[in-house]
Amino acid sequence: MFENTVKSVLDLWAAKQMDSDLRVFARDLSDSQGELRSQILTYATSKSVFYREHMAQIMDGAQGGGQLVRDWQSVPFTTAEDIKTRGREMLCCSQDVIKRVVTLETSGTTGTPKRLYFTANDQKRTIDYFRVGMDTFTKAGDKVLVLLPCEREGSIGKLLGEALKLGGKTPILKGVVKDLVATFEAIETTEPDVIVGIPFQVLALVKYGVFMNRPITTVKKMLLSTDFVSETALKTIEQYWHCEVFRYYGMTETGFGGGIECSCHEGYHLYEPDFYIEIVDPDTGICLPEGALGEVVITTLKREGMPLIRYRTGDQSRMISEYCSCGSVLKRLDAIRTRLEGSVKLRGGHELTKGAVDDVLLDIQALLDYKIQFKRHKTRDALYLQLYYLADIVDEQLIIERLKNIVTIQSALEQNELEIGVNSIIVSTEYCPHPAKRKIEE
Ligand SMILES: [Zn+2]
């Protein structure tokens, strides 16, 4: 039987997007991407007030986008701050053409929210990203339970539902998990083949099932998206539910397009016809060579309403230079290890990321969720952890021992520069981790 894989589905899609033949497509890809970069630059600077100003210096004297593409590093970055403060001016069309505006929550009280604008064509592209992504690892007839926001028209869950129908699958739109008991019952009743959800919420469901001794055997595959997934979370889910977990790289800013893992699970194969991805040094902004770890910078090549040019994502990763053994010619971005946003700098400049803490804590079976806060003090900094258990609280000292496996914490403790406070409570089974992106509060 013909098997759906990244090579057979995503590569074919990418070649079609480039009006190319699969055999010659890899060779033409970088030329075509160069052309698309030049087109989006010309488009954005001619249509958007923000980009006209933002690019003014480099456009002066440059003969259109083509020349700039040859000197791509001179093109200024776009940042989360730009989206927050000048998002509307980034628009390349009139407001009437915008079909959906997504407001991204920011934690804390002072944050201005990010607003992202999408036209009908942008939404069609999102559906296409989902369709092709899901087609790489599911088959027609599969029942797919969607645990992403589904309430509103044009929401991520609704668009995914449409994409699944196009691919001959049966979507069950349930929405983000608000109550573990209710969602778990929905899994037992609907018996999905596949679940798409938010990493921390899915992990909590799995742990709840183990705790209640109610095994789930129907779910064969899972797709986790919207936040980074720590290796420990991934292994814990796979171990208890015996399913294959795929990670998807996409964010609201990119219209949920980006990349998807193949069955080799060694990085995301990128949606190259629509996105140009660079890795830059987070301090200097200089482009790093393939294989070097740095910040992921994305250019949306085909976005109509609000293109992003050299957008600094705050995600840390590297490009993998070797071809994947699945045979796909699409470039790979390594799994996102950490997010710069939401990490903190300990004394001495060492970074402490949420991912590192996830890795040492999430295999604790009854631990459903945790929050972490960092406070700077004059003499010694402090790290406070609030842990939420279903049962069986782990002794505070054992938690600190686990945290010492993180080198930056270990050395800060040795230097007497850090103190750690741990508070643990048992929560009801109706508790559920919040769906927003996770961070170390400061
Ligand atoms: Zn592959």
Q: Which H or E run includes 59? A: helix 56-59
Q: How far is the CA of 245 from the centre of ligand 1 (A)?
A: 14
| Higher pLDDT pick, 151 / 348 | 151
Centre of ligand 1 from the C-alpha of residue 21, in Å:
19
Of these ranges, 100-109, 186-195, 406-415, the one predicted with the greatest mean pLDDT is 186-195
- Domain boundaries in the chain? 1-340, 344-426
How far is the centre of ligand 1, averaged over its atoms, from the C-alpha of 320 (Å)? Answer: 11
Residue 66 pLDDT class (50, 70, 90 cuts): low
311/297 Cα distance (integer angstroms): 5
Q: Is the separation of the CB atoms in 189 and 158 below 8 Å?
A: no
Q: What percent of the chain has pLDDT over 70?
A: 96
Mean pLDDT value across residues 64-71: 67
CA atoms within 13 A on the CB side of 415: 15
pLDDT, mean over the chain: 91
- Residue 434 alpha carbon to ligand 1 centre in Å: 32
Best-predicted range by mean pLDDT among 63-77, 337-351, 388-402?
A: 388-402
Q: Is there a contact between 150 and 161 (Cβ–Cβ < 8 Å)?
A: yes
What is the 68 CA–ligand 1 centroid distance (Å)? Answer: 32
The pLDDT confidence band at residue 18, using thresholds 50, 70 and 90, is: confident
In terms of CATH, what superfamily is 1-340? Answer: ANL, N-terminal domain (3.40.50.12780)
The class level of CATH for 344-426 reads alpha beta
Ligand 1 centre to CA of 109 (Å) is: 42
**Which tokens sit at 17?**
């997007």
The pair phi, psi for residue 305, each rounded to 5°, is -75, -50
Quickly state the pLDDT bin for 303 (edges 50, 70, 90).
Answer: very high
* H or E segment and range at residue 56: helix 56-59
Span from the CA of 5 to the centroid of ligand 1 (angstroms): 8
Percentage of residues in the chain having pLDDT higher than 90: 74
Q: Three-state SS string across 312-351, please?
A: EEEEEECEECCCCCCCCCCCEECCCCEECCCCEECHHHCE
User: How much distance in Å is there from the Cα of 231 to the middle of ligand 1?
Assistant: 18
CA of 327 to the centre of ligand 1 (A): 6
Nearest-angstrom CA–CA distance, 221 and 255: 23
Q: Tell how far the Cα of 11 is from the centroid of ligand 1, in angstroms.
A: 10
Ligand 1 centroid to Cα of residue 304, in Å, is: 29
pLDDT at 68: 65
CA of 333 to the centre of ligand 1 (A): 11
What pLDDT, on a 0 to 100 scale, did the predictor assign at position 21?
78
- Convert the pLDDT of each residue in 35-47 to its tens digit: 999 999 999 999 9
Q: How far apart are CA 137 and CA 261, in angstroms?
A: 9
Nearest to 220 by CA among 243, 198, 249, 203: 243
Give yes or no on whether 1-340 and 344-426 have one common fold: no
Tell me how far the alpha carbon of residue 76 lies from the centroid of ligand 1, in angstroms.
32
Cα dihedral 319, 322, 328, 329, rounded to 10, equals 80
Quick check: 289 pLDDT over 90?
Answer: yes
CA of 269 to the centre of ligand 1 (A): 7
For residues 198 and 228, is the Cβ–Cβ distance under 8 A? no
What lies within 8 Å, CB to CB, of 179 at 6+ separation is 430, 432
Q: What is the mean pLDDT of residues 210-231?
A: 91
In this prediction, residue 27 has a pLDDT band, given cuts at 50, 70 and 90, of confident
The neighbour count for residue 252, using CB atoms within 10 Å, is 16
